[in-house]
Amino acid sequence: MDLKINFIACTISENHTSAYSSSSNDINSLVGCIRDDIRIEHENKFKAFKNMLKKQGKDAEFQDLAMVDAIQRLGVEHLFQAEIDAILQRQYMMMPKTHNDTDLHEAALRFRLLRQEGYYVPAGVFDRFKAEDGTFKKELTHEIKGLMGLYEASQLSIEGEFILDEAGDYSHQLLHSYMTSLDYPEARAVEHTLKHPHHKSHPKFLAKDFVTNLQGLMGG
C-alpha cells in the first residue's frame, strides 16, 4: 500500500478545496481513512496466510488461532479487536470438545492466547501430553513448533502450577539442544522464542522479528 497516495486521496474531497486544513475533524477523518486502508491491506495478507494454512491441512479451529497469533505479533490487534474477541470466545466455549483431539502445538497456542486475554484455562490441559511415569511423552521431543508453543505457554504460569514450570524447563532444554541441527530459518525462530517469548516482548520488536521469521520459514 502506498501511504502517500492514500494520504492524498483521503485529503481530497468535494467539500474541501483548500490545500490543507488543520481542523480536528479533518485530522480525525484522515486518521480514520488511513486506518481503514491499513486494515484492508492486512486483511488481504491474512487471507493469503489462511489459505496457506488450509493447504497445509490445518483445521478451521487452528486457522483461527494462528490468525489471532499473527495479528497480535504484528501489533495490529487494535484493528481487529472485535474479530479477535469473537474467535477467542468461541475457542473458549469449544475447549471441552477439543481438549483430547488437538496436538501439542494447537493446545499450547490456545492455552496462551486465552490465558493472556484473561480466560481461565487450567494448566491441567497439558496433563494428557505426559506419560504414565510423569514425564512428557517421547513422541513430543521432535515437535519443534509444539515445543516452541509449550515454552511460550509456560511463561504464563502462576505460582503452584508445577506442570508449567516443568514444561518450560523441558521445552527450553530440548529446543536449545536442537539449535545446531536445524536449518537457519527454523533455528532463528527457535532462538527468538527462547530469548523473547511473546508474553514478555515489546510489540514493535516482536512484529519486526515475526515478519522476518515467517518469511524465512516460508522460503521468502
Are residues 111 and 183 both part of a single domain?
yes
Total tally of structural domains belonging to the chain: 2
**Structural domain includes residue 196:** yes
Residue 139 has pLDDT above 80, yes or no: yes
Are residues 109 and 186 both part of a single domain?
yes
Residue 219 has pLDDT above 70, yes or no: no
The parent domain of residue 132 ranges over: 58-217
pLDDT (tens digit per residue) in 60-106: 888 889 889 988 888 888 888 888 899 999 999 998 877 677 899 99
Q: Are 206 and 75 in contact (CB under 8 A)?
A: yes
Residue 25 has pLDDT above 50, yes or no: no
Are residues 88 and 178 both part of a single domain?
yes
The pLDDT of residue 178 is 94
**Structural domain includes residue 65:** yes
pLDDT band at 109 (very low <50, low <70, confident <90, very high): very high
CATH number at residue 167: 1.50.10.130
Are residues 183 and 99 both part of a single domain?
yes
**Structural domain includes residue 50:** no
Are residues 1 and 104 both part of a single domain?
no
User: Cα-flanking dihedrals φ and ψ of residue 136, to 5°?
Assistant: -70, 145
Radius of gyration for the alpha carbons in the chain, expressed in angstroms and rounded? 21
Residue 1 has pLDDT above 70, yes or no: no
**Structural domain includes residue 49:** no
The pLDDT of residue 102 is 84
**Structural domain includes residue 63:** yes
Are residues 35 and 76 both part of a single domain?
no
pLDDT (tens digit per residue) in 143-201: 999 999 999 999 999 999 999 999 999 999 999 999 999 998 899 999 989 998 876 65
Give the whole-angstrom CA distance, residue 162 versus residue 123: 9
pLDDT band at 2 (very low <50, low <70, confident <90, very high): very low
Are residues 75 and 170 both part of a single domain?
yes
Specify the 3-state DSSP secondary structure of 152. helix
Predicted structure pTM score: 0.72
Residue type, 12: I
